[in-house]
Amino acid sequence: MFGALGGVLPLRLGGTAENGQTAAQHARACADLLAVYRTAPFASWNYTKSGGTVTITSYIGRNGVGLAHAPAANVNGTGDVTFRWVDASGNPYHVYENELGELIPFMLRTADAATPSGATARKATVTVAANSVRVRTFAGSGSGAAVDTTTTVEVWGDPFLATRAIGDYGGDLEKEDSETEGRAPYAAHILRELQEQRGTAYTTTPGRLVDVENVALARFLAATGPRLAEKLRANATPGRSDERLDYWRRYLAVPTKPGEPRWRTRQKLAAHYRVAKGATREEVTAALEELLGDIFVSVSWDEGASLSVPPTPTYWPDINPGPAASSLGGGAWLSTRAHLFVLVQIPAGLSVGEFLTAMNVDMPQLLDRMLPATKTFGWATSDGFILDGDPGSEIASASFLDFDGMGEA
C-alpha cells in the first residue's frame, strides 16, 4: 500500500488548467465547497401521513443518510406532525458524529415544506424549534381544512456557518504551485528510469505485472527520496509545517483553543515566528497582516514632531503631570509615542465571537512577545480611540493606564 500510494498523495498543485490542478483552481474549488456547505440544508426528507401513521420514504442529512438517521415523527392531529431527532432510547439529542468522528452540535433555525404538484394539500406551514420541526398541511381550496398528504421538508441550522472557512477544506490563498512536481511528479521520472534500466526485454505495457511492479517501486522511491527531503524542508518553518505543527506550537509556546483548526494554528505560529526578526515597523505590520488576515487594516505610531516635542498626550511628573487616575504611584509616566495603534474591521461572515478572540486573545499574545516592554498597543474599528472610557460599558474603551483595550469613535 505504501509503495502504491506513497509517491502520489498528497497531490501536488501545478500544471495547467487542462492538465493538472493549479493553486488558483484548488482555492476556487475550496471556496465553492464552502459555499455549498453554507447554503445546503441540514437535512431533507419526504414523508407520507395517513391517519395516525407517518412513513418517511427518504432522508438525507448531515448526521447521516438513510432512514436510520431520520427524525422520529409524532402525530398531533390531521395533517399535523412534529419531527424530532432522538437516540435509540428516545431521548432528544443536539449533537451528531460527523465522518471524522467529531461531535458536532446543531440548532435548527429555519425550515421549508412543500407538497407535490396536484396533491390534495396545496399549502404547508412549518414551526421550527432548536431540535424539532412541526409541519402542518392544509387543503388549498374551500375551508382550508387540515389534510394528510405527502410532503417534502428541508431544515437549515448549523452553529459553524459563520466560522467555517476555506482553510477547513485545505484551501489557502497563500498556496503556490509546486516548483518541483507541478507539471510531473517525481514518480513519473523515476518510472521512466526504471523502465530504461530493465531494458527492452521487459514490457512497458500498462497493467502488466512488470509495469505494476515498476509503478509501485517508482512511487516508493519518490516518497522515501525527494518527497521526504521536501517534507523536511517544509517542516523547518511553522508557516509551511504540517507533521511538525505541534512541535512548533510547543517550541513557540503559542496557546490554542480547543477545536482550533490546524490552518488557523499555522497562521498564528507563522506570525509568532517573525518575532525573531525584531520589532521593526515592517515586521510588526507583516506579522499582524499574517495573523489577522482580512481583519487587519493598518497600524500607526504617534511619533510627534521631534524628540523635544512629544506627541499628545505625554505625561511625566513635575514637567507635565498627568491625571492622578493614571498614576501607579509617584505620578503618571506615559506617552502615545510608545503606543501602537492597530486599525481593524469586522469582515462579512465573521462572527463577533471569532473577531473578539482574534483581537483580545491572539493579537495580544503576539504583540506582548514581539514589542519591547516599554511599548503598549490598542485597537479600534475606526480612525479614533476613546481613552479613559467607562470600563463598565458594553464595549470597553482603552484607558491611559491600559492601552490594550478597545476604543471606538
Residue 225's nearest CA partner among 179, 189, 177 is: 189
Instruction: Tell me the range of 209-213, 379-383, 397-401 where mean pLDDT is highest.
Output: 209-213
What pLDDT does 396 receive?
Answer: 34
What pLDDT does 124 receive?
Answer: 83
Using alpha carbons only, give the angle 63, 68, 74 rounded to the nearest 5 degrees. 95
Are 299 and 409 in the same domain? yes
What pLDDT does 401 receive?
Answer: 31
How confident is the model over 13-67, as pLDDT tens digits? 888 877 888 888 888 998 898 888 888 899 999 999 999 999 999 999 988 899 9
State the Cα–Cα distance between residues 70 and 381, nearest whole angstrom: 45
Q: Which residue has the higher pLDDT, 75 or 409?
A: 75
Q: pLDDT confidence of 247, banded at 50, 70, 90?
A: very high
Q: pLDDT confidence of 7, banded at 50, 70, 90?
A: low
Residue 79's nearest CA partner among 50, 115, 56 is: 50
What pLDDT does 353 receive?
Answer: 82
Q: pLDDT confidence of 121, banded at 50, 70, 90?
A: low
What pLDDT does 153 receive?
Answer: 93
Which residues, in sequence order, are CB contacts of 401 under 8 Å at separation 6+?
325, 326, 328, 334
User: How many other CB atoms are there within 10 angstroms of residue 120's CB atom?
Assistant: 16
Q: How many CA atoms lie within 13 A of 304 on its CB side?
A: 14
Could you tell me if residue 325 is left (phi over 0), alpha (psi between -120 and 50 degrees) or otherwise beta?
alpha
Residue 150's nearest CA partner among 176, 175, 122 is: 122
Give a yes or no: residue 91 inside a domain. yes
How confident is the model over 311-357, as pLDDT tens digits? 777 888 888 887 877 777 778 877 777 788 899 998 877 878 888 88
Give a yes or no: residue 11 inside a domain. yes
Overall average pLDDT of the 138-166 stretch: 79
Pairing of strands 110-114, 103-105: unpaired
Are 196 and 115 in the same domain? no
Are 57 and 123 in the same domain? yes
Are 132 and 181 in the same domain? no
User: How many other CB atoms are there within 10 angstroms of residue 180's CB atom?
Assistant: 13
What pLDDT does 76 receive?
Answer: 93
Give a yes or no: residue 253 inside a domain. no
Inform me whether the pLDDT recorded for 161 exceeds 90. no
Cell numbers describing residue 71: 427524525
What pLDDT does 141 receive?
Answer: 56
Inform me whether the pLDDT recorded for 163 exceeds 60. yes
State the Cα–Cα distance between residues 125 and 132, nearest whole angstrom: 14
Are 286 and 215 in the same domain? no
Burial of 135 (0-12, 13-18, 19+ CB in 10 A): buried
DSSP-derived letter for residue 79 is: T
Cell numbers describing residue 44: 431533507
State the Cα–Cα distance between residues 278 and 18, nearest whole angstrom: 44
Are 305 and 397 in the same domain? yes
Percent of the chain with pLDDT over 90: 16
Give a yes or no: residue 220 inside a domain. yes
Burial of 288 (0-12, 13-18, 19+ CB in 10 A): buried
User: How many other CB atoms are there within 10 angstroms of residue 364's CB atom?
Assistant: 13
Dump the DSSP string for 170-182: T--TT----TTTS
How far, in whole angstroms, is CA 339 from its chain's centroid? 31
Inform me whether the pLDDT recorded for 255 exceeds 90. no
Are 184 and 114 in the same domain? no
Q: Provide the domain count of the chain.
A: 3
Give a yes or no: residue 310 inside a domain. yes
In the sheet that holds 150-156, the strands lie side by side as 64-65, 53-61, 43-50, 150-156, 110-114
Range of the domain at 209: 2-22+177-234
Across the strands, what pairs with 137? 124
Overall average pLDDT of the 98-103 stretch: 76
Inform me whether the pLDDT recorded for 154 exceeds 90. yes
How confident is the model over 167-211, as pLDDT tens digits? 888 888 778 888 888 888 888 899 999 988 888 888 888 888 888
Tell me the one-letter amino acid at 368: D
Inform me whether the pLDDT recorded for 397 exceeds 90. no
Tell me the one-letter amino acid at 258: P
Percent of the chain with pLDDT over 70: 87
How confident is the model over 261-308, as pLDDT tens digits? 888 888 888 888 877 777 788 888 988 988 898 899 998 877 777 777
Give a yes or no: residue 187 inside a domain. yes
Of 121-130, 263-272, 364-373, give the lowest mean pLDDT range: 121-130
Are 290 and 391 in the same domain? yes
Cell numbers describing residue 140: 388549498
Across the strands, what pairs with 139? 121
Cell numbers describing residue 133: 420541526
Are 200 and 284 in the same domain? no
Of 159-168, 332-341, 373-382, give the lowest mean pLDDT range: 159-168
Are 10 and 105 in the same domain? no
CA quadruple 217, 15, 293, 171: dihedral sign: negative
State the Cα–Cα distance between residues 221 and 119, nearest whole angstrom: 64
State the Cα–Cα distance between residues 56 and 46, nearest whole angstrom: 6
| Radius of gyration, alpha carbons of the chain | 30
Q: pLDDT confidence of 143, banded at 50, 70, 90?
A: low
Give a yes or no: residue 152 inside a domain. yes
Could you tell me if 260 and 245 are in contact, meaning their C-beta atoms sit under 8 angstroms apart? no
Are 300 and 208 in the same domain? no
Inform me whether the pLDDT recorded for 406 exceeds 50. no
Q: pLDDT confidence of 393, banded at 50, 70, 90?
A: very low
Which residues, in sequence order, are CB contacts of 264 under 8 Å at separation 6+?
167
What pLDDT does 1 receive?
Answer: 38
What pLDDT does 204 receive?
Answer: 83
Give a yes or no: residue 202 inside a domain. yes
Average pLDDT of the residues of the chain:
81
Q: How many CA atoms lie within 13 A of 15 on its CB side?
A: 13
Residue 70's nearest CA partner among 83, 80, 81, 79 is: 83
Are 56 and 127 in the same domain? yes
Across the strands, what pairs with 221? none
